């Protein structure tokens, strides 16, 4: 296919820069412990300095892949699909999610919310970032809010973000991985004092799975 055609299909969300796909256990948040197939889409310009998948950022380094083939493959593994990245909302998620839905799969997203919400989702995990705040109606639509705690200021940020979400949204604080020894005791203390919050850990990293 010629380059312009590929670009056109990526712009429509009919093709996506696919970084990796893997069947694993959801490690984080409300669905932790549940087997799921992960689709990691490349491309993110948010720039979190502690991001644990910086290799995802440059979309050019990930092959444009037809969503039909992504869906065909995913359906073989699991009835629960987690779309992550990179920042999946960089792209139009409508073609991917409508075809996953047509297969009867449950579709979850991990997103910073930095770009408008596209696609149809059974579960939305919103992990807002100070450097590029969520946009549009995602606060109303989020099922869980997962704030990463790197330092003390992140507790204040978490409370500000919690003011914006819908009343059913489940609130999580997750330690930034490299700072976990320092921040876990602070998170534990905070959650005991503010029990509307829950702790989320990156349990897959303790299990040594993807
Ligand atoms: C890599 S991001 C991809 C999805 C989307 N860009 C986002 O940030 O939500 C997946 C999840 O991992 C979290 N995360 C990334 N790096 C982390 C780290 N070093 N420690 C803890 N959580 C991290 C993000 O906040 C997000 O909830
Ligand atoms: N097992 C596992 N669970 C996860 N939950 C969110 C992840 C992500 O990178 O979006 C992730 C991941 O990378 N692996
Ligand atoms: S928004 Fe997500 S993928 Fe992008 S830099 Fe931050 S954690 Fe990494
Ligand atoms: Mg991860």
Task: Give the residue, by CA position, lying nearest to ligand 3 atom 8.
Answer: 51
Ligand 1 touching residue 112 (CB < 6 A)? yes
pLDDT of the residue at 153: 98
Q: Whole-prediction pTM value?
A: 0.99
What are the domain boundaries of the chain?
A: 3-207
Q: Which residues of the chain have pLDDT under 50?
A: none
- Give ipTM to 2 decimals: 0.99
pLDDT of the residue at 14: 98
User: How far, in Å, from the CA of 51 to the mean position of ligand 1?
Assistant: 6
Task: Give the residue, by CA position, lying nearest to ligand 1 atom 21.
Answer: 176
The answer on whether 26 is annotated among ligand-binding residues is yes
Task: Give the residue, by CA position, lying nearest to ligand 2 atom 9.
Answer: 84
Q: How many residues does the chain have?
A: 210
User: How far, in Å, from the CA of 54 to the mean position of ligand 3?
Assistant: 8
User: How far, in Å, from the CA of 2 to the mean position of ligand 3?
Assistant: 30
3-class secondary-structure state, position 190: helix
- Give alpha helix (H) positions in 103-201: 138-141, 153-164, 180-193
Ligand 1 touching residue 161 (CB < 6 A)? no
The edge-to-edge listing of strands for the beta sheet with 144-149 is 64-66, 15-25, 35-41, 80-85, 106-111, 123-126, 144-149, 170-175, 197-199
Indicate which atom in ligand 1 lies nearest the CA of residue 40.
3
pLDDT of the residue at 64: 98
Mean pLDDT over each residue of the chain, to the nearest integer: 98
User: How far, in Å, from the CA of 151 to the mean position of ligand 4?
Assistant: 20
Report which secondary-structure segment, H or E, holds 204: helix 203-207
Q: Give the per-residue SS3 of 32-46.
A: CCCEEEEEEECCCCC
Any residues with Cβ below 6 Å from ligand 2, and which? 24-28, 84, 110, 204, 210
pLDDT of the residue at 87: 99
Indicate which atom in ligand 1 lies nearest the CA of residue 29.
27
Fold of 3-207: TIM Barrel (3.20.20)
Q: Which ligand is nearest to the CA of 22?
A: 2
Say how many CA atoms lie within 13 Å of 182 toward its Cβ.
8
The answer on whether 27 is annotated among ligand-binding residues is yes
């Amino acid at each position: 296919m010629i380059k312009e055609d590929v670009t056109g299909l990526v712009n429509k969300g009919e093709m996506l820069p696919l970084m990796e796909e893997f069947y694993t256990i959801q490690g984080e948040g409300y669905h932790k412990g549940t087997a799921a197939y992960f689709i990691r889409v490349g491309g993110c310009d948010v720039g979190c300095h502690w991001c644990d998948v910086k290799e995802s950022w440059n979309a050019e380094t990930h092959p444009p892949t037809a969503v039909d083939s992504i869906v065909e493959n995913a359906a073989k593994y699991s009835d629960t699909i987690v779309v992550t990245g990179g920042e999946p909302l960089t792209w139009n998620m409508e073609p991917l999610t409508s075809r996953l839905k047509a297969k009867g799969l449950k579709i979850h997203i991990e997103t910073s919310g930095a770009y408008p919400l596209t696609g149809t989702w059974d579960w939305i995990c919103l992990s807002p970032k100070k450097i590029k705040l969520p946009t549009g109606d995602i606060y109303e639509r989020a099922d869980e809010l997962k704030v990463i705690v790197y330092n003390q200021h992140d507790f204040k940020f978490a409370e500000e973000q919690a003011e914006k979400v819908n009343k059913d949204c489940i609130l999580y604080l997750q330690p930034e991985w490299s700072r976990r020894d320092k921040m876990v005791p602070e998170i534990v203390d905070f959650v005991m004092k503010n029990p509307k919050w829950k702790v989320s850990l990156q349990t897959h990293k303790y299990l040594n799975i993807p």
